Amino acid sequence: MTADAYAQRVDALRAALRRQSADGAPLGLAKRTSNLFRDREEGAKRRLDLSAFHHVNAVDAAAGTVEVEGLATYEALVDATLPHGVMPAVVPQLKTITVGGAVAGVGIEATSFRHGLAHDTMLSLDVLLPGGDIVTCTPDNAHRDLFHGFPNSYGTLGYALRLVMRTLPVRPYVKVAHVRSGSPREFFDALAMACDSDADFVDGVVFDGHTMVLSTGRFVADAEWVGDYTYEHIYYRSLLERPVDYLSTYGYLWRWDTDWFWCSKNLGAQHPLLRRLYGRSRLNSRTYTRLMRFNSRWGLTRRLARWRGLHPESVIQDVDIPIAHAAGFLEFLLREIGVLPIWICPIRVPASSAAFTLYPVRPGELYVNFGFWDVVRSRTPREPGYFNRLIEQEVLRCGGIKSLYSDVYLSRDGFDKAYGMEAYEALKDKYDPGRAMLGLYEKCVGRR
């Protein structure tokens, strides 16, 4: 039944594509929500509605797989898999992230130290190509080049319609231990040891240069209590208050969504009175994203900063740094950028995995993801993107790589070297010879 329903959706899509006029404008996705965090200078596009492809088609707990469509959110995927005693092997932090978006971009969470990024858990992929054809890609079939080239392509090689992803068995609760460190080197040494332990989850938070908390989680069958971070209590604060905590597995997977990590503070949602006015149902990434888009469109906080004589720059970045350079990179962030807190999440792509073309982390090597999301305000006027450019230069110097969901200022040559554009252009020639979709550089750096 699910196979027939998927086939019917594909047939309807093909019919819609035949009706659509190819007027020379680039193809774009008609989507009401987005987890891209950069202002875009949108030109004319032919908008394609794929909202019908939002189903979880099948969960095979015994095989450790789930078949899901590209526009399904991870919230829907978790809701479908947990009753079967399994979860997606990597669950990105926000409920609104779609499965196709996590694979076309980069999806990460606290299981990534063992299972890699979201696209490393992918077993097969149906892609709608820019010309209207649909191909099934696996690691070893005729379209294996697209399978390995699709991650980090951000809708410039096609759109994910259906995916088969790996799952992991779960237990009802997660016991989390929070351990403080007082220096970057102590913290990252402890993180590396945790990644070689039997932990199921590893991540952490840098609160300042002398306060860092490493969190390791393990599935358990029973809990002494169950922490609730969906309303009155704020998860990231609990890291400094509770050396040990218990969450339901569902609560653990979405522990960051209620307060958008800690970014809800910028919207007043951490003030007790305003928190009650928001109410439990609006304390989530959906609400904050809508408010952020509204502010970006009207420039309210930018105007306020300028009225105060400040020059604001949005610094919203996730970067992956080899563990050997992690302490030095953190010292750079604290010294030059000053955005706090910083989320820390280790990544290690399994050594047996093949490399993905556009996100060339080395299999078997431990990397550290640094996530930092705020505004740097200075009384000194600087060139646009000054702080983001500093970060990009330091990431490249450390042999790291940054995600492309936010502002990118790299030169064409720097971008080409960092993201393997020679191989990308070969994929573009093969799968989008008519250039019906924007190129990756034009989309990410050109903000189109």
Q: Per residue of the chain (448 residues), give pLDDT as tens.
A: 577 899 999 999 988 887 776 666 677 776 666 656 666 566 666 778 899 999 999 999 999 999 999 999 999 999 999 999 999 999 999 999 999 999 999 999 999 999 999 999 999 999 999 888 999 999 999 999 999 999 999 999 999 999 999 999 999 999 999 999 999 999 999 999 999 999 999 999 999 999 999 999 999 999 999 999 999 999 999 999 999 999 999 999 999 999 999 999 999 999 999 999 999 999 999 998 888 878 777 777 777 777 888 889 999 999 999 999 999 999 999 999 999 999 999 999 988 777 899 999 999 999 999 999 999 998 889 999 999 999 999 999 999 999 999 999 999 999 999 998 999 999 999 999 999 899 999 999 987 6
Contact in structure between 407 and 316 (CB atoms under 8 Å): yes
What residues pair up with 369 in beta bridges, in sequence order? 320, 345
In this predicted structure, what is the pLDDT of residue 187? Answer: 98
- Residue 21, classed as helix, strand or coil, is coil
Instruction: Give the β-pairing of 366-378 and 311-322.
Output: antiparallel
Spatial distance between the Cα atoms of 150 and 155, rounded to a whole number of angstroms: 9
Contact in structure between 134 and 184 (CB atoms under 8 Å): no
In this predicted structure, what is the pLDDT of residue 40? Answer: 57
Residues 6 or more apart in contact with residue 410 via CB below 8 angstroms? 392, 418, 445
- In degrees and rounded to multiples of 5, residue 77 shows phi and psi of -70, -40
Which amino acid, one-letter code, is at 287?
T
Spatial distance between the Cα atoms of 304 and 366, rounded to a whole number of angstroms: 42
pTM for the model: 0.94
In this predicted structure, what is the pLDDT of residue 34? Answer: 64
